[in-house]
Amino acid sequence: MTSSSPRHVAPRAAQRRDRAPHGVKKSFASVAALVAFAMTAIFAVAPPPPPASAYQFEAYVSAHPQSLTVSTTVAGASLKRDIYSSTPALQALSANATNYDWAKLVLVTGGWPMSHANVTVFVRWMRQENGPNNWWNRNNPLNNGWGSGGGAGLGSYPNLLVAAKNAAAALHGNPGYSAIVAALAASAPTTVTEKAIWASPWSSSHYANGTHWAYTPVPAFTAPASAW
């Protein structure tokens, strides 16, 4: 009977020594996971913000102090100032002496804006009363009866300055002229102020409700010096 050669079987104890223990493998895996988590947490944390500008400025000032010394013996400097002068409105306007200047005199005296619309209304109004080339007639450009001695507007004033003051006083003093005063104060469009003039008792004819009113540009005419 032929017997086969016996197989060489390694001892069981030797086979166990060739492999790492199972517990050791689990420990290595846990350590690797912990390291990976720690690295991720480190990079995930945002860096702190830079210091505020005010803090940086304060730190710079503290690190670089400065001082300024002023001598007590410095002589004071003398300044030469320009000389300015002004001319009162009444004097300046009467010096030019045109119908436009007289219209502005009334506005200044009455406390109304010296606007283009207001001046235009007055020179048109003066033209309706006396004509443009003789607007200073009897020193009463608007034929105003207030203080002129002529109830129908045919009185006269000593000069055009007095006439301007009385024209403003008449407009402010008679309730029938309140719409005119309000329009002048608002520097309303000429059509608004002119309609208020036509509706007022200034003229008994009411300027035919505007049909006798001229709208062409009013020429400038200078009154003689004797009228001022």
Share of the chain above pLDDT 70, in %: 67
SS3 category, 98: strand
For residue 153, what pLDDT is reported? 74
67-96, pLDDT tens digit by residue?
A: 777 777 766 666 565 554 444 566 677 667
Place of tokens 């003039």: 197
Mean pLDDT of 124-129: 96
For residue 53, what pLDDT is reported? 72
For residue 177, what pLDDT is reported? 97
Q: What are phi and psi of 81, to 5 degrees?
A: -100, 145
For residue 13, what pLDDT is reported? 45
30-39, 149-158, 159-168 — which is least confidently predicted? 30-39
To the nearest whole number, what is the mean pLDDT of the chain?
A: 79
SS3 category, 217: coil
Q: Which structure tokens are listed for 11?
A: 């001892």
42-63, pLDDT tens digit by residue?
A: 555 555 666 667 777 778 878 8
